[in-house]
């Protein structure tokens, strides 16, 4: 569930959107516990200082909602924090890098942020 908080005229309105998924914060431990076990995992490797990473995240959040009927694991891995070891093991050399895994095996990789349509096509052809 996703929550939107609107503040207007000193009042707070909370809207809940059922079924809305967002990227989970990824930690290295989840590679064993989630990525290797899930049928499909889509991980955006990112860094807090990276402008293209920041603009890719809302696209990935939106696509995770579009695919909410699927049981995919969607996550955001900070290569300088919780996902540092996984990022290194995956050979991440540039961010953002989005990797699609099936049962822990890399199926495809997209480096950069080519825009929403290209990211959608990348995911569609890989899963």
Catalytic positions are 50, 53
Full strand arrangement of the beta sheet holding 105-111: 24-25, 73-78, 41-46, 97-102, 105-111
Q: Which two structure tokens, joined as six digits, stand for 55?
A: 């603009």
To the nearest 10°, report the CA torsion of 76, 58, 119, 49.
-60
């Amino acid at each position: 569930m996703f929550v939107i908080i609107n503040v207007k005229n000193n009042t707070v309105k909370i809207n809940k959107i059922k079924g809305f998924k967002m990227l989970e914060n990824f930690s290295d431990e989840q590679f064993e516990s989630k990525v290797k076990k899930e049928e499909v995992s889509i991980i955006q490797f990112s860094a807090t200082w990276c402008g293209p990473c920041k603009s890719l995240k809302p696209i990935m959040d939106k696509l995770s909602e579009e695919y909410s009927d699927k049981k995919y694991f969607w996550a955001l891995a900070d290569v300088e924090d919780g996902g540092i070891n996984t990022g290194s093991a995956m050979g991440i050399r540039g961010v953002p890098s989005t990797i699609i895994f099936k049962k822990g095996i890399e199926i495809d990789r997209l480096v950069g942020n080519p825009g929403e349509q290209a990211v959608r096509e990348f995911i569609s052809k890989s899963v």
